[in-house]
Amino acid sequence: MTQENHIVDAQLPLELDFKSLKAEGLAYIQKHSSTEWSNLNPSDPGVTILEQLCYAFTELGYCANFSMKDILTQKNGDLTMENQFYEPQNILTTSPITIEDYTKYIIDQIESVKNVIISPIPVNFPFMNGVYKVYLLIDPTYDDPTVTDSPTTETFYVLNSARNVGELFLMPQLLSPKTYTISGDLKLKSGYDINTMLTEMIQTINQYIFPDVTETGYDKLKAEGETTNEIFNGPTLQNGWIPSESIQPKKDTIQPFEITKLIQDIEGVQSISKIAFTYNEQPATSAICDENEILTFDFSTSFSSGKNTENLQISTQGKPLNATLNTSLIDELANMQQSSAQINEVAAVQVAPTLPTGKFRDITSYYSIQNTFPEAYAVGLNAVNDNTPDFQVAQSRQLKGYLSLFDQLLSNQFAQLANIDKLFSFKNAITGAPADLEHYNNIKTPQEKATPKYPAPFEVFSPTYFYQSLYTSVPNVEPLLRNNQIFNFGPISQSETALAHENWLQYQDDPYNSYMYGLLVFTEKDTVNLQRRNELLDHLLARHGESPLVIDTLIYGTVYSGDVLKDAIIIKSVYLQNLGILSYNRTKAYNSIGAKKLQNSAVQITPELLEELSKREIPQTASERADELQYISSHTAEEVENYLNVKSTKKELQNILTHTYKNNGVFNIALVNEKQKITKQDCLDYATLSLKLSLLLTLRPFYINFIQESVDPEAYLDENDEVPNPFPSDEVCSQIEVALWMIMERKGMISIETNLLLQSGSFEVLIQEGTSPFSYYRINTMINYADFITLSMQLDSMTTQDMQTYLHSINADYTLEGIDSSTVTDATFTAIENTMYAWTASVTWDNQNSLYITDSLFENTLLWIFPDFIKDFSTSTWQQRLSYFMECQLPIELQANPLYATVENMQTLIPLYVSWFNANIYNATTESYDTTLATSSAGSIITLLKELKTTPPESNA
């Protein structure tokens, strides 16, 4: 059948319908100017102008109907994505939170791990959010000589890099095989290969005991009907997505009938009967194992030939087959086939949806309406020449000036549409005329770009209306522009034509000529700009599930610019740029065994050093660079590290002293974006809550403002406008030193997880028996943190009435010793339900600094330490913001306690904290931790923390 193609006369939308637009325009004219404008025929010049404008409107409407992917496609064909959208695999995923998430993460990250069991230990302490035992099933076929760490060590490191605040993972253990043999009578159908069938049987039984977890692709899951939210619910995986139903529990009990059914369902099996199990050469009614074990069946022994009827007898058509089997080869083949299937599956996955591709549309280019007027109007490209009478030139320019107002408005509309990516970007735009700024940069040499003639051409703070010049789009526009003759000078020998041409080129290249400056000033007012940009950012926040009202409450105040609304725009923009990484990591803690090591305060701050660094920054000379390279090459790694640390500290301080947030009168938003950018390494070095608090509560600017104000001479003037003493004082220098360390090493706050301090302590468990008067006992063995957590769980679940017997069942070394009641007068005991006992514990570090586990210091998961000399931290506004942050941003299971330290406290705390922090980091060379240093530092930190205030000084007043 021949297909007929034809045009359907359908109603166009208004923005594309020339006739409807013209009708709307004529109706408006009749309504408002019917007495003055009576001729509405096509011959009337006003109607002609209306027609040209309507035609231009249809072109704008045509461009506005482009698909969004076309509008966002760049000249090189790439789709504009950065700071526009978060891809689903980046914004819908989260770092591991649930046990299922951690299971997926370990299997994906560690090639040697075939499956994993994560078992929570119930705890009831405010400082602890969860303790987990981890058991690993290793792939027997995995063999990589380049991997030096054992699977348990590697898993432990991965878990610590992804743990959440308040969580503790015990060192993983390998599942111990508990091996049974199978006896019975297996009959096979004729024509089936015995080796292939037995390989399938082994795989089937192993899969039944502990099913493999299979990673698959986004496209496959989507085709199976999974929603995008379901697919990306969990951590980002490198080798494909793991459906939740793919994770099945390990079977710790198997009955003979289960094995019978599994084998019977295999194609080629005629019958299977008399299945029985044997363990240690003793009959077993069922196969059972503990949590830390995995059931296995010794098929080599089960298939062994001979007349032993306790083995699995295999036959076909009455002929025994046991003697023909190569059992070792069958076991090896079963493992290899299983591994190959997994490899093939992983190699073929599509991890994420394919990005759409668009077609580049040059929307910025504008074709002036003056090019389409009839020649009689004399407004086109060649409408006038040197022979045209002056009065006609004047008439032409008069009409062109009128039409150019429409041209400018239309051209700006095309610019607005072309720059929609900047309008809805997380980053604030820096210019309202991107096309003209691009031209300006293209004509400059590298030297001119490094030392520009104009400090900030076209730059403004976060424009929301975009515009562009009419230099190339409107024919003969030069005489219409203000001060167009400003560059009309040159040598006498130069002709007027050449002089005029050069004048026009220089005028266009001048970013601050009267025309461009007028566009800059009149296109958008600051009040309108700030309000519009703030509303756009609120829309973007809401689109990503963030409440603008909550964010407004958290960020209220001004620390950057002096304008509350402008500061809100700055912080919201930076927050949106970092939202992807903050959203993914959410409540993730820092990697306590693998974070970057901290440095102590590298530079002693003195008035002389401040004066030296406050001078204009001088570039490093070639000889100074050579001396630096010589030093680095001739000193030890530790000396070089200290040298570079001192250099970076001085560089940071110099930047603080010599730079402000403004650059040539325009707020330097690019600098803020750079300094506040959160990296993946930051999420290993800091808890995400600390990063979020630092960003939203603007900790870094507070410290910078404090340092800058501390070296401001005007701050030290007396009533006679004189400086009575050299400034700053030694105390202020110490404060600057602490503030600089807080900026460089901790992003403005010291955050300590209480459970990490406790990990290096030793615990003494105390028992209270009977009713008043009570008897008191202690367990004679000091135990570590992990054993204490395990014991506390067992005590809370105690059912026996005899404590000594119960403790012996837990650990044969646990023995009760009587103690005097006067030694526990301050202790708070926790009753054990349905028994006559209660218990508590004390923790010590190096037999010093003993505290009961019920001490108020341990009532919080997090301890946040701020210096009290930053006066902004003492204001009621900031205190309210901090309280609101804890209320709406902390998960319900976490508690945080802000503490405030004097400069003397901070100078004592910082080296202790650095020593403790670094001592917990795993040393790959020695394969150990510095437990001795961690213990001594933690004890001293605990003593100091007990002295700190819970409110800053002014708040107490």
Region of 306 on the Ramachandran plot (φ > 0 left; ψ -120 to 50 alpha; else beta): left
Share above pLDDT 70 across residues of the chain, in percent, rounded to a whole number: 93
End-to-end CA distance of the chain: 93
The whole-number pLDDT of residue 345 equals 52
List, for residues 287-338, the tens digit of each pLDDT value.
999 999 999 888 777 776 555 556 788 888 778 776 666 666 666 655 655 5
In this predicted structure, the answer to whether residue 340 has a pLDDT above a threshold of 50 is no
List, for residues 3-40, the tens digit of each pLDDT value.
677 777 788 899 999 999 999 999 999 999 888 888 89
- What does the alpha-carbon distance between residue 181 and residue 284 come to, in Å, rounded to a whole number? 10
pLDDT band (50, 70, 90) for residue 886 = very high
Element (H, E) at 272: strand 269-279
List, for residues 93-135, the tens digit of each pLDDT value.
999 999 999 999 999 999 889 999 999 988 888 888 889 999 9
The whole-number pLDDT of residue 640 equals 85
Q: How many CB atoms lie within 10 A of CB 5?
A: 4
List, for residues 679-701, the tens digit of each pLDDT value.
999 999 999 999 999 999 999 99
Question: Once rounded to an integer, what is the mean pLDDT over residues 509-534?
Answer: 90
For residues 734 and 754, state if they share a domain: no
For residues 509 and 384, state if they share a domain: yes
Q: Is residue 320 part of a domain?
A: yes
> Is the separation of the CB atoms in 593 and 160 below 8 Å?
yes
Q: Is residue 121 part of a domain?
A: yes
Question: Once rounded to an integer, what is the mean pLDDT over residues 891-897?
Answer: 91
The whole-number pLDDT of residue 720 equals 61
Q: Is residue 563 part of a domain?
A: yes
Domain of 110, CATH number, reads 3.30.300
- The label of the residue with tokens 């014991």 reads 791
Structure tokens at 906: 């901070």
List, for residues 383-421, the tens digit of each pLDDT value.
888 788 999 999 999 999 999 999 999 999 999 999 999
- The label of the residue with tokens 């009267």 reads 514
pLDDT band (50, 70, 90) for residue 636 = confident
C-alpha 213: how far from chain center: 27
List, for residues 187-200, the tens digit of each pLDDT value.
888 888 777 788 88
- What does the alpha-carbon distance between residue 153 and residue 178 come to, in Å, rounded to a whole number? 23
For residues 858 and 883, state if they share a domain: no
Of 291, 211, 200, 202, nearest to 243 (Cα)?
211
Q: How many CB atoms lie within 10 A of CB 22?
A: 18
Q: How many CB atoms lie within 10 A of CB 239?
A: 19
- What does the alpha-carbon distance between residue 786 and residue 134 come to, in Å, rounded to a whole number? 13
Q: Is the pLDDT higher at 339 or at 910?
A: 910
pLDDT band (50, 70, 90) for residue 773 = confident
Q: Is the pLDDT higher at 8 or at 145?
A: 8
Query: Which residue range forms the structural domain that includes residue 36?
Result: 14-65
C-alpha 771: how far from chain center: 54
List, for residues 716-752, the tens digit of each pLDDT value.
555 565 655 556 888 999 999 999 999 999 999 999 9
Q: Is residue 733 part of a domain?
A: yes
Q: Is residue 633 part of a domain?
A: no
Of 133, 145, 95, 141, nearest to 114 (Cα)?
141
SS3 160: helix
In this predicted structure, the answer to whether residue 270 has a pLDDT above a threshold of 60 is yes
> Is the separation of the CB atoms in 75 and 365 below 8 Å?
no
SS3 896: strand
Question: Once rounded to an integer, what is the mean pLDDT over residues 852-864?
Answer: 92
Of 167, 20, 151, nearest to 98 (Cα)?
167
Give me the number of domains the chain comprises: 6
Of 676, 639, 681, 641, nearest to 661 (Cα)?
676
Q: Is residue 80 part of a domain?
A: no
For residues 149 and 97, state if they share a domain: yes
The whole-number pLDDT of residue 344 equals 46
Final residue of a structural domain among 302, 330, 347: 347
The whole-number pLDDT of residue 718 equals 57
Share above pLDDT 90 across residues of the chain, in percent, rounded to a whole number: 51
The whole-number pLDDT of residue 310 equals 65
Helix, strand, coil percent values for the chain (each to nearest 5): 45, 15, 40
Average the pLDDT over each of 29-38, 506-515, 622-631, 896-905 and give the range with the smallest value.
Answer: 622-631
Q: How many CB atoms lie within 10 A of CB 752?
A: 22
> Is the separation of the CB atoms in 533 and 567 below 8 Å?
no
Q: Is residue 532 part of a domain?
A: no
For residues 739 and 759, state if they share a domain: no
For residues 803 and 813, state if they share a domain: yes
- Strands 848-852 and 775-779, sheet pairing: unpaired
- What does the alpha-carbon distance between residue 726 and residue 732 come to, in Å, rounded to a whole number? 11
For residues 735 and 778, state if they share a domain: no
Report CA Rg, the chain. 38
For residues 735 and 775, state if they share a domain: no
Q: Which spans in 564-621 are helix H?
A: 564-577, 579-585, 607-613
pLDDT band (50, 70, 90) for residue 491 = confident
For residues 318 and 198, state if they share a domain: yes
Q: How many CB atoms lie within 10 A of CB 185?
A: 14
SS3 914: helix
> Is the separation of the CB atoms in 819 and 835 below 8 Å?
no
The whole-number pLDDT of residue 571 equals 96
Query: What is the average pLDDT value for the chain, to the nearest integer?
Result: 88
Structure tokens at 99: 């046990």
Number of helical H runs and strand E runs in the chain: 37, 23
Distances in Å between the Cα of 498 and the Cα atoms of 489, 491, 493 are 11, 11, 10
Backbone dihedral angles phi then psi of residue 59, each to the nearest 5 degrees? -65, -40
- Count CA within 13 A, CB hemisphere, residue 583: 21
Of 153, 128, 101, 161, nearest to 786 (Cα)?
128
Dihedral sign of CA atoms 390, 391, 396, 399 in order: positive
For residues 342 and 435, state if they share a domain: no
Q: How many CB atoms lie within 10 A of CB 656?
A: 22
For residues 323 and 405, state if they share a domain: no
For residues 816 and 884, state if they share a domain: no
Q: Is residue 221 part of a domain?
A: no
Bridge-partner residues for 138, per DSSP?
113
Distances in Å between the Cα of 438 and the Cα atoms of 85, 402, 446 are 24, 28, 14
